[in-house]
A = this chain, B = another copy of it.
Amino acid sequence: MMQFALIGAGFIGPVHAANIAAHPRAQLRYVVDLNRDAASRVAGQHGAAIADSLDVVLADAKLDAVVICTPPRSHAAIIEAAARAGKAIFCEKPIDLDIVKVDACGAVLRKTGVPFFVGFNRRFDPTHSALHEALRRGDLGRAEMVIVSSRDPEISPPDYVAAMPYGIFYDTMIHDFDMVRWLTRDEPVEVYARTSVMLDEKINPVRDPDTAMVTLVLAGGALVHVNSSFRAVYGYDQRIEVFGEKGMLISRNQQPTSLERHGADGIHQAPLHYFFIQRYVQAYAAELDHFVTSVETCQPPSIGFEDGRRALAIAYAAMESAKSGRPVALPR
């Protein structure tokens, strides 16, 4: 049984904790969080211990792996400590917010050689996976255009938003940039981005961009569009469309039920899943399983440091473009 420590018990932490607990070959040993209440709630649910500090946890020789769910700015330091302690690392995206720190922690990872995985969970969604397989199989031939719609039903709380200006790029769209790289097996050479503040002052008092469109030009010539919003009142809108020489593939949205009502006013279906927790429930379980299996079999996890770094670099280029109003070139 692989022994895990969960670092960060808020937000997505409980999802990972539950998946570890339900996994036949994994066990949740520790939960670490500055917020003792959050830590003890999650630990209690799954019979794990609460640890006072990361050091104590990493010193336990029986611990195999850490799952890092703390705020992004703290990631690099935790990754480095865990790597030096020889633990396998499952890190939520982004690797960190500071690209200098990201590179420093990349060096540590290379030196220590510990398994390192970035939680781009969407790669493990069954439908996105089916899209990926269809592309690998050659169903479309060359991909010529990619259109990604990636919209959240709500904006984060003001303090979260204030702490991460232009987060729409490196906190949200970073997932989409990863998907584009993964699906096309190509890299962007130019990024152009435009943002807008569309939400009311009440729900977006920080006036940080809540609406954005990005164009990517890939090295191979394919054109990519990504759009995002923090106010999709109809639910979590996550569609990917790839157009190519043999046609088009669409990873469509999903609904919790398939009931249809026909009334005098038309045809009605249930709304989409509300948010990512509901939409990607299978993906979260599958990425944990992939991580466990990778570590057990000594294979590098399918999403590594370089993937995490590149998605962040694209996000930052998009932010730069949005600020300057000019397209930004990306080194290959």
Contacts and interface: CB of A to CB of B under 8 A. Distances in A.
Contact of A325 (B142, B260, B327): B327
Nearest to A214: B215
A245 interface: yes
A91 to B, nearest CB: 27
A251 B258 CA distance: 6
B234 A262 contact: yes
A154 to B, nearest CB: 11
Interface string A176-207: 00000000000000101011111000000000
Interface size range of chain A in the complex: 35 or more
B243 A192 contact: no
Contact of A126 (B127, B213, B257, B266): B257
A331 interface: no
Contacts of A197: 221
A147 interface: yes
B144 A198 contact: yes
Contacts of A262: 234-235, 237, 247-250, 271-272
Contacts of A221: 196-198
Given A147-B147, A234-B247, A213 B229 contact: no
A24 to B, nearest CB: 8
A259 B269 contact: no
A332 B266 CA distance: 37
B229 A144 contact: yes
A229 to B, nearest CB: 6
Tell which of A229, A248, A270 has the most Cβ of chain B within 10 Å: A248
A247 B270 contact: no
A119 to B, nearest CB: 21
Interface string A235-255: 101000001011111111111
Given A142-B198, A151-B243, A221-B196, A271 B260 contact: no
Interface of A: 22, 126-127, 130-131, 134, 139, 142, 144-145, 147, 149, 151, 190, 192, 194-198, 211-213, 215, 217, 221-223, 225, 227, 229, 231-235, 237, 243, 245-272, 325-327
Given A126-B256, A234-B262, A267-B271, 8 more contacts: A126-B257, A130-B257, A130-B270, A134-B259, A144-B211, A144-B229, A194-B217, A250-B261
16 contacts: A144-B198, A144-B211, A190-B194, A196-B221, A233-B247, A234-B247, A234-B248, A234-B262, A237-B248, A247-B261, A252-B259, A262-B271, A266-B269, A267-B272, A268-B268, A268-B269
